[in-house]
């Protein structure tokens, strides 16, 4: 039985021809009662620049290259575009993502 994506998990998003399909970090996944079925995600990138809003993940075994979460690239899209789970961030890395997100947005 397939499971719903959970915050802190990395999924491969099939974004079609308009955007580049890529791994994304799930930040929020819609509940059945939500008005819109939109997942909120941050893309992963292998072009690590060390910029504000970028959290280095190193090289998790389930990714082909060293990568970082780019929280400046937040997106929301139909939950059905999340095709397959790649892995889950360790609690400390996910906490770093949330801290950086709060700082970037002034929350």
What's the predicted TM-score (pTM) here? 0.90
The tokens describing 86, both together, are: 């790649």
Backbone angles phi, psi at 28, to 5 degrees: -150, 140
Residue 54 within any structural domain of the chain: yes
Residue 46 within any structural domain of the chain: yes
By three-state DSSP, how is residue 99 classified? helix
Residue 1 within any structural domain of the chain: no
Q: How far is the CA of 94 from the CAs of 7, 62, 89, in angstroms?
A: 9, 16, 6
Residue 105 within any structural domain of the chain: no
pLDDT band (50, 70, 90) for residue 34: confident
- Asked if residues 23 and 84 have their Cβ atoms less than 8 Å apart, the reply is no
Q: What total number of domains does the chain contain? A: 1
Residue 64 within any structural domain of the chain: yes
What is the model's pLDDT at position 5?
94
The tokens describing 60, both together, are: 């998790």
Residue 38 within any structural domain of the chain: yes
CATH number of residue 20's parent domain: 2.30.30.110
The tokens describing 59, both together, are: 């090289």
Give the range of the structural domain holding residue 30, as residue numbers without chain letter: 9-100
């Amino acid at each position: 039985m397939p499971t719903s994506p959970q915050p802190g998990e990395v999924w491969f998003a099939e974004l079609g021809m308009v955007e580049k399909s890529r791994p994304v970090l799930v930040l929020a996944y819609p509940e059945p009662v939500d008005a819109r079925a939109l997942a909120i995600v941050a893309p992963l990138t292998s072009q690590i620049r060390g910029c504000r809003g970028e959290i280095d993940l190193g090289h998790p075994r389930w990714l082909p290259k060293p990568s970082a979460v780019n929280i400046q690239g937040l997106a929301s899209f139909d939950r059905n575009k999340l095709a397959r789970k790649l892995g889950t961030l360790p609690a400390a890395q996910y906490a770093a993502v949330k801290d950086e997100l709060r700082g970037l947005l002034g929350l």
